[in-house]
Structure 1
Amino acid sequence: MSASEKAKAKSEQTAGKVEKEVGRAIGNDRVAAEGESKEAKGDLRSAKEKGKDAFKG
């Protein structure tokens, strides 16, 4: 996994978690849902990069 892609994945995951928790704390379902979406996007990016690494050997 390239360092820049790994960093992007981690930052998306972290930003998503923060946004999700803020949304829940203030009772805003839309913000919480957007946070979950960002977190999932980071998870998918991370999984994609791990899959690439597996094929590289």
Structure 2
Amino acid sequence: MVATFLKRLKTDMIGASSVEYGLLIGLMTILLIAGISALGVETTNHFDNAQAGFES
């Protein structure tokens, strides 16, 4: 019974595809969050500089 399960698990490619897609989605999510964070910091710096220009 266990041997049959392990043999079937070894040849099952559907699970491998799901894991690969999950890893790709996770990587894209991390890259998206990093990009948005970097863009947010840069935008904040631009607005701070503009505000400082109006105050002087």
TM bin, normalised by shorter chain, reads 0.5 to 0.7
Q: Secondary structure at the match of 1:33?
A: helix
Any unmatched runs of 5+ in structure 1?
Answer: 1-24
Provide the aligned length of Structure 1 versus Structure 2: 33
**Given the two structures, how large is their TM-score scaled by the length of structure 1?**
0.51
- Identical-residue share of aligned pairs (%): 15
Structure 1 segments of 4+ aligned residues over 3 angstroms from their partners: none
Q: Hey, what does 1:44 align to over in structure 2? A: 28
Q: Superposition RMSD on alpha carbons, in Å?
A: 1.3
Residues 1-57 of structure 1 mapped to structure 2, 5 A cutoff: 26-57=10-41
**Given the two structures, how large is their TM-score scaled by the length of structure 2?**
0.52
Query: Larger radius of gyration, structure 1 or 2?
Result: 2
The offset of 1:29, in angstroms, is 0.9
Structure of higher RCO (CA pairs closer than 8 Å, 6+ residues apart): 1
Cα distance in 2 between the residues matched to 1:37 and 1:48? 16
The offset of 1:33, in angstroms, is 0.5
Q: Hey, what does 1:12 align to over in structure 2? A: none
Cα distance in 2 between the residues matched to 1:51 and 1:36? 23
